[in-house]
Amino acid sequence: ALHLAQAEDGKGLDDFQKVYNAIAEKLRDEDEFDGYIGYGPNLVRLSWHVSGTFDKNDNSGGSFGGTYRFKKEADDPANKGLQNAARFLEPIAKKFPWISHGDLYTLAGVTALQEMQGPKIPWRPGRVDADEKDAPENGRLPDASKDGNYVRHYFGRFGFSDQEIVALLGAHCLGKTHLENSGYEGPWGAATNTFTNEFFVNLLNENWKLEKNDAGNEQYNSNKGYMMLPTDYGLIQDGKFKKYVEKYAKDQDAFFEDFKSAYVKLLENGIDFSKLGKAYVFKTLDEQDS
Ligand code: CCH
């Protein structure tokens, strides 16, 4: 059965906006992280990895239980590098002890995306901390060395369509790969902490060469210093994916709209929010300043 969302007692939009603001202000203060990329991309990746353990066949994993806080899940080799995001969130969790871990991890991703000029992401509270025994086993996150068909089957586990998969992967406009984390190295584009459709533009327009990196893994490199994972490149090797890559490269608004829906679905997989009211839409720090 689906997990029933239960909102934190007595908490409403204003309370969650305060958590949003605390995360957003810390993002501004600690902008020097990772060569001045800042923590935004790492927080987005955390929100996806805590959700990406979901399995629709038995409704296990996913963002609901906040089980990333247990060593078993945090130590999944696929989660290497996310200790940074976890450490970033520690003082926020202390300041707002009433928020569940699943809500905090997902709200952090929403905050980071909006502060990096991404679309407004409607977000709903109500995830409830689960026990360590409910933490999913390691190995549920995807393998970047594979091709487009692997990606299609991988995301089938969540019930995502080709269009939703392509939209989601546009998040790779953000941040970079780190040899010491994943065995891949380099950014996907120039604007590593602004949310744009650059991933799709670069995928179509750069001159990609398949090369072995210093960890011995093959990745696609361009002469501008950008990279693509084999799974990313799979999106232009497969015609059913490629038509969406072309669409989003031409139309950033369409990308923003489709990304928003797919990302909300990713964060809410396995949860029944029917007892709650409307989703919250948060103001960015900039909007509150003016
Ligand atoms: Fe991703 N991603 N991702 N990814 N990802 C990596 C980094 C980021 C895959 C592999 C990798 C999504 C889907 C996939 C981000 C968001 C999303 C890295 C480098 C690998 C490898 C990690 C490192 O070395 O630090 C694969 C494979 C898939 C699916 O096929 C989805 C979906 C999202 C979000 C919606 C973001 C953001 C980063 C940058 C993190 C950072 O620290 O800069």
ipTM of the shown complex: 0.99
For residue 229 and ligand 1, the question of a CB distance below 6 A is answered with: yes
Nearest CA to ligand 1 atom 10: 144
* C-alpha 96 to ligand 1 mean position (Å): 28
Give residue for tokens 């908490």: 11
- Read off the pLDDT of residues 130-142 as tens digits, 9 standing for 90 and up: 999 999 999 999 9
Residue ranges, comma separated, of all CATH 1.10.420.10 domains in the chain are 148-254
Report which ligand 1 atom has the smallest distance to the Cα of 232: 30
pLDDT of residue 275: 85
- Read off the pLDDT of residues 90-148 as tens digits, 9 standing for 90 and up: 999 999 999 999 999 999 999 999 999 999 999 999 999 999 999 999 999 999 999 99
Report which ligand 1 atom has the smallest distance to the Cα of 175: 43
**98 catalytically annotated:** no
Asked whether 141 and 52 are in contact (CB, 8 A), the reply is: yes
* C-alpha 262 to ligand 1 mean position (Å): 15
For 95, counting Cβ atoms within 10 Å of its Cβ (0-12 exposed, 13-18 middle, 19+ buried), the class is exposed
Nearest CA to ligand 1 atom 31: 169
Alpha-carbon Rg for the chain in angstroms: 18
Residue ranges, comma separated, of all CATH 1.10.520.10 domains in the chain are 3-140+262-289
C-alpha 229: how far from chain center: 16
Q: Please state, in angstroms and rounded to a whole number, the distance separating the CA atoms of residues 115 and 48.
A: 17
| CATH of span 3-140+262-289 | 1.10.520.10
* C-alpha 187 to ligand 1 mean position (Å): 11
Average pLDDT, the chain: 97
| Helices and strands, counts by H and E, the chain | 14, 7
Catalytic residue among 3, 48, 49, 123: 49
- Read off the pLDDT of residues 46-93 as tens digits, 9 standing for 90 and up: 999 999 999 988 999 999 999 999 999 999 999 999 999 999 999 999
- Read off the pLDDT of residues 144-165 as tens digits, 9 standing for 90 and up: 999 999 999 999 988 999 999 9
Q: Please state, in angstroms and rounded to a whole number, the distance separating the CA atoms of residues 74 and 68.
A: 5
pLDDT of residue 276: 82
Fold that domain 148-254 belongs to in CATH: Peroxidase; domain 2 (1.10.420)
